[in-house]
Amino acid sequence: MKKIVSLAFLGLISMAACQKIKSIANINFTIPFSQSVTVPDVAGYPSGAVLPNGGLTLPFPPMTVATNSQQLFKQYHASSKNLVAASLDNMDLQITAPPNQTFDFVDSIQLFISSETVPEILVAYLYNVPKGQTKINLLITPGQNLKSYVVQDSVTLRLNAHINALPQGGTTLQAEGAFHVTANPL
């Protein structure tokens, strides 16, 4: 009986050691992206106009981002079937034009991700956007595993903002971020 218990115990230790080795072999890499988007016009309001009390919700045009994940999996000798986890690592928005425009026109902003085969979800946001800023860092929605998104050839990112005034015409934002990917080559 002692031999059976000892063998079972050794088996459990071996399994735990194998799992530990496999987790040590995990590869971490990032998929950076950068896209530019122009703030859309709001029909019926001239540029710079103050909006009615309560403001308006302003959906931005979608941005298509190539993931290049398959190339990165090959580079790191892993495959999408061995993808452990993926998340949005960081997300910044910066006003690149005109030079004197700030985020004062925005009360809150949300970033959604989707693809042709995976539904849209909220991945980042910033409520109570600070005034006087030309660059803001969005907060990442906790607990999102974006594995099914990063294995796609491309994803669609969409900003949605609640605005209190219209920005100057031609206001352009640069959206920069990165996905953090953990894969296992074993």
- The CATH number corresponding to 27-183 among 1.10.260, 2.60.120, 3.30.70, 3.40.50 equals 2.60.120
> What pLDDT shows up at residue 47?
73
- 55: enclosing H helix or E strand: none
Q: How would DSSP label each residue in 83-148?
A: EEEEEEEEEEEEEEESTT--GGGEEEEEEEEE-SSS--EEEEEEESPPTT-SEEEPEEPTT---HH
Q: Classify burial at 103, counting beta carbons within 10 Å of its beta carbon; exposed 0-12, middle 13-18, buried 19 or more.
A: buried
The structural domains of the chain, with segments of one domain joined by +, span 27-183
DSSP one-letter code for 166 = P
- 152: enclosing H helix or E strand: none
Tell me the CB-side half-sphere exposure of residue 128, using CA atoms within 13 A.
0
What contacts 153, CB < 8 A, 6 or more positions away? 66, 67, 70
Q: Are the C-beta atoms of residues 157 and 148 closer than 8 Å to each other?
A: no
* pTM of the full structure: 0.83
**Closest-CA residue to 141 (of 167, 120, 121):** 121
Kindly give the confidence (pLDDT) of every residue in the chain, 186 residues in length, as a single tens digit, with 9 standing for 90 and above.
556 555 555 444 544 444 443 445 799 999 999 999 999 888 777 776 778 888 999 999 999 999 988 888 888 888 888 899 999 999 999 999 999 999 999 999 999 999 999 999 999 999 999 999 999 999 999 999 999 999 999 999 999 999 998 888 889 999 999 999 999 886
Give me the torsion for CA of 142, 148, 152, 157, rounded to 10°: -30
